[in-house]
Amino acid sequence: MRFQKWLRKDSSSALLFLGPSFTGFAIFYVIPFAIGIGYSVQSSPVDGSFAGASNYQELFASSSFLKAASNTFLFTAISVPLMVVISLFLAMTLNRSVYVRNWLRTAYVMPLVVPVASIILIWQVLFDWNGTLNAILHGLGIERVDWMKTDWARGVVVLVYLWKNIGYNMILFLAGLQNIPNDYYETADVEGAGPLHKLISITLVYLTPTTFFVVLMSIINSFKVFRETYLIAGDYPHDSIYMLQHYMNNMFLSLDIQKLTAAATIMAAAIMVIVTLLLTMERRFRSFMD
C-alpha cells in the first residue's frame, strides 16, 4: 500500500516535470503533423473537400516523387552500412593505445559542433569545377570531373554525410566497447581464440544494442541529408541526389500543400516502419540472449 502511494506520488512528480516538454512537443510537432495528414486527404487546404487517397495516387504517378523516393532509399542503403562499418572500425582503433588518440577523438567530433553552412563552403570549394580536387587532378594530368553535375554527386553527398555524422556514432561505439569486461577477452586468450573469433563472438555480440541504436540514428539522419545537399547543389540538383526533401521543398514553393503533406506522411510512415522493425529485432535478440 505504501509502495503504491509512493508510486502515485512519483508518477505525479514525473508528469509535472515532463508536462512542459510534452506540451511543446504536441504544439510544435504532433498537432501540426496531424493537421498535415488531414490536408493530405483534402482537395484544397482552404475550404477543401475530402479527396480520399487521390493525392497519394497522384504522388505515385509522379515521376519526380518516384525518383526522389528511390534516391532517398538508395542513399540510405549505401550510406548507413558504410557509416556503421567505418565508425565501428574507428572506435575499435581509438579504443587501443594509439598515438595521438586524444587528438583524433577531438578531430572526429569537431564536425558535430561546427555550423553546417560554414563547412559546406569548404566542400563547395573542394568539389567545384575549378576547385581544389580538380586542380590536383589537373596537375596529375587527369581530366577534371564535374562532381556535382554527374553521377559522382551521390558519392559527394555520401562523403559529406559520413564526415558529418561519423564522430557521433564513433563515440557511441567507444562507450559500448568500454563497457565490455576485459575478463571475456582474457578467457578467450587462454582458450586460444584468435582476433576474428573474439571480434565475432565477443565484441559484435555485446555491441549489438549499441549497433541497433547506431543504425537507427544513422537511418534517421540519412533522411535529413537535404540540408547538406541543398547547400551544396541548390533547389534542383543532379538527378542522382534529388531527395524526398527536395520534392517537398519544391511543392512548398509552388504551394501544392496536398502533395507536400502526402509526401511527408509517406516518409514519416516509412521511417516508423523501419524503426519498428529495428526495435522488434532488438527485442527478439535480447530475449534470445537472455
d(CA 47, CA 24): 28
- Note whether residue 11 is domain-resident: no
Confidence (pLDDT) at 85: 92
Total domains in the fold of the chain: 1
Confidence (pLDDT) at 81: 93
Residues of the chain with pLDDT under 50: 3, 6
Q: End-to-end CA distance of the chain: give it in Å, rounded.
A: 32
- Note whether residue 18 is domain-resident: no
Confidence (pLDDT) at 123: 77
d(CA 216, CA 222): 10
d(CA 273, CA 76): 15
Q: What is the CATH number of the domain that holds 174?
A: 1.10.3720.10
- Note whether residue 38 is domain-resident: no
- Note whether residue 83 is domain-resident: yes
d(CA 39, CA 49): 10
d(CA 204, CA 88): 10
Confidence (pLDDT) at 290: 61
Confidence (pLDDT) at 101: 61
- Note whether residue 42 is domain-resident: no
Three-state SS letters, 233-246: HCCCCCHHHCCHHH
Q: Do the beta carbons of residue 255 and residue 44 sit within 8 Å?
A: no
Which one-letter DSSP state was computed for residue 142? P
Domain that holds residue 233: 62-289
Confidence (pLDDT) at 100: 59
Which one-letter DSSP state was computed for residue 194? -
User: Cα–Cα–Cα angle for 70, 241, 158, nearest 5°?
Assistant: 100
Confidence (pLDDT) at 80: 92
- Note whether residue 273 is domain-resident: yes
One-letter amino acid for residue 178 of the chain:
Q
d(CA 148, CA 238): 7
Confidence (pLDDT) at 166: 86
In Å, how far are 8, 71, 81, 255, 288 from 74, measured between CA atoms?
48, 5, 12, 28, 31
Can you state the angle between helices 208-222 and 63-94, rounded to 10 degrees?
A: 140
- Note whether residue 175 is domain-resident: yes
Number of Cβ atoms within 10 Å of the Cβ of 4: 8
Confidence (pLDDT) at 200: 81
Number of Cβ atoms within 10 Å of the Cβ of 16: 9
- Note whether residue 33 is domain-resident: no
Confidence (pLDDT) at 82: 93
